[in-house]
Copies of this chain bind each other. A is one copy, B any other.
């Protein structure tokens, strides 16, 4: 497990690491009443956080240490079950920067949110 998978905030959300390499990382979690808003939807911050765990885990699974610089998320659909799965894939980079795309789906494979992000390498 990467250090990120052991972070207390990952525990708070109930996020589990399924896989992690510099090229790809996968995290999952169960949606609980704590994660939903008054309209019954999952909080944007919950979906973002799961995607961010996958991103942070992947970019730190290589030889360098990377810190997130920017990230964006677009919400595409509501979950049809009680699971969230975030799959981060590296889409490009240089020695200094790493760029990722994270697709968040529910347990049925429905695309819920697309997250893209950039991290930079610290010395």
Contact = CB atoms under 8 A, between A and B. Distances in A.
Interface of A: 3-4, 6-9, 12-13, 33-39, 41, 43-46, 48-50, 52-53, 56, 65, 67-77, 91-94, 96-97, 99, 101, 103, 111, 114, 116, 118, 120
Contacts of A48: 44-45, 48-49, 52, 71
B34 A43 contact: no
A70 B77 contact: no
A92 B76 contact: yes
* Copies of this protein, total: 4
Secondary structure dominating the interface of A: mixed
A45 B41 contact: no
B114 A101 contact: yes
Contact of A75 (B33, B36, B68): B68
- Most central of A48, A49, A56 by chain B CB within 10 Å: A48
A76 B52 contact: no
Most buried by B among A8, A34, A36: A8
